[in-house]
Amino acid sequence: MSDLPAYRVWALPGIPEVRTGDDIAKLIASAATAEGLPGLADGDVLMVTSKILSKAEGRVVRADDREAAIDAEAVRVVARRGPLRIVENRLGLVMAAAGVDASNTPAGTVLLLPEDPDASARRIRTGLRDTLGVNVGVVVTDTFGRPWRSGLTDVAIGAAGVRVLDDLRGGTDAHGNPLSATVVATADELAAAGDLVKGKASGLPVAVVRGLSHVVVSEGDDAPGDGDAGARALVRDAADDMFRLGTSEAVREAVTLRRTVREFTDDPVDGGAVRRAVAAAVTAPAPHHTTPWRFVLLESAESRVRLLDAMRDAWIADLRGDGFSEENIARRVRRGDVLRKAPYLVVPCLVMDGSHTYPDARRNASEREMFVVAAGAGVQNFLVALAGERLGSAWVSSTMFCRVVVREVLGLPADWDPMGAVAVGRPAVSPSERPVRDAAAFVTVR
């Protein structure tokens, strides 16, 4: 039975109450070498609760208002329900209250997470190597809730000397099937194992795992990139995070993400994503229970070029007729280049089916204005939904200046009114910082 895979985990007693300035490595070394304990050996992994690091590093702060402390540590609100906030904090961790903890600390104070948990783990590892001559891994842990799962568990927020991820992609399972997506979060599994013996209120902030030396890197290979990337490697990049947003927060975030994009990559656009955006568009409000939106999807390069060439020729003819110089014409035509750079075009159209006809021109003009506003609401829904699909867009008004040409080239009914063109694609560059607008400047209260 001795050759079966196995490991042993135990909590380390004897860690005193930690105060600012304490050397955690020395405290652990002293506790581990107490009489009757197995000590530490090469290949052991230590799970260290972040709270004692926060205390040692002076991350105990006065905060009569815990919410203010959360505000200071948060960079983005992901979800909110009543007083509970799930936020992304400065470390990139998405967690409740940014990790700000009001337990196990004097009244009127809160504990912030360590400034750099990976660096904290490296200091402990180096300290134990210097003090006891052992090569151990260190995992800094904190308590997380998880989407779609009840209960809490410990996860790794810092690590040193540990291969935090075990990438099995490229291998095969027991049946010879290729593994294409399996990356095991080894450091999180270690953190959870340690928590089983540490507990949440038992005063045992450190646990030791023995028997898994294969997850510990060799001495000298503890610089990031040499098999020890730290727990930062466990934080999923925003671009790969399919569940980045909360509920109402998703709407607000998508609105914020909606930016005019003028440079696109050559990556093809998923037509399914565009159709999902259309489905969002047609939920916009409209007068008289009508559906005044139509979206023409130009998915082939041939259709896009044919439309844009015809629009360019019509526009140039109009500008020449208005007496513009050739230089001025060329400059204005270049403004439409964003449409040619996009791998996908959409022409939103307005239809007036269901509109009312009145005996006077003023009321008829107001009727059309209602439908135009509804069309704009639909296009805004469309643009926001595209942003939610991580697609960039630019709404360009050019088709409004040559509606007859657009209808002829695309074979549209005479009562379809093109309301611009939307360039769609993957943004080639990150958008510039959006200027902050004070919403109060746009509000009048009566």
Q: Where are the domains of the chain?
A: 8-59+113-240, 248-442
Angle at 226 between CA 224 and CA 232, to 5 degrees: 35
417 DSSP β-pair partners: 350
The mean predicted confidence, pLDDT, of the chain is 89
pLDDT recorded at residue 2? 62
Mean pLDDT of 80-90: 83
Mean pLDDT of 13-21: 93
pLDDT recorded at residue 225? 45
C-alpha 261/C-alpha 42 separation (Å) is 54
**pLDDT value at 69 more than 70:** yes
**pLDDT value at 65 more than 90:** no
Token pair for 144: 């997380």
Give percent above pLDDT 70 in the chain: 94
**pLDDT value at 226 more than 50:** no
Given the candidates 3.40.109.10, 3.30.1490.20, 3.30.750.24, 3.10.105.10, the CATH classification of the domain at 248-442 is 3.40.109.10
Q: What b/e sequence results for 366-379 when a residue is b if at least 16 CB atoms lie within 10 Å of its CB, and e otherwise? A: ebeebbeebbbbbb
pLDDT recorded at residue 318? 85
Mean pLDDT of 26-30: 96
Band of pLDDT at residue 334, cut at 50, 70 and 90: confident
8-59+113-240 has CATH 3.30.1330.100 classification: yes
Band of pLDDT at residue 306, cut at 50, 70 and 90: very high
Helices 248-257/361-388 angle, 10° precision: 100
Q: What b/e sequence results for 135-160 when a residue is b if at least 16 CB atoms lie within 10 Å of its CB, and e otherwise? A: bbbbbbbbbbeeeeeeeeebbbbbbb
Mean pLDDT of 392-410: 92
Mean pLDDT of 352-362: 90
Neighbours of 283 (CB within 10 A): 11
pLDDT recorded at residue 246? 67
pLDDT recorded at residue 238? 80
Q: Which has the higher per-residue pLDDT, 296 or 259? A: 296
pLDDT recorded at residue 432? 77
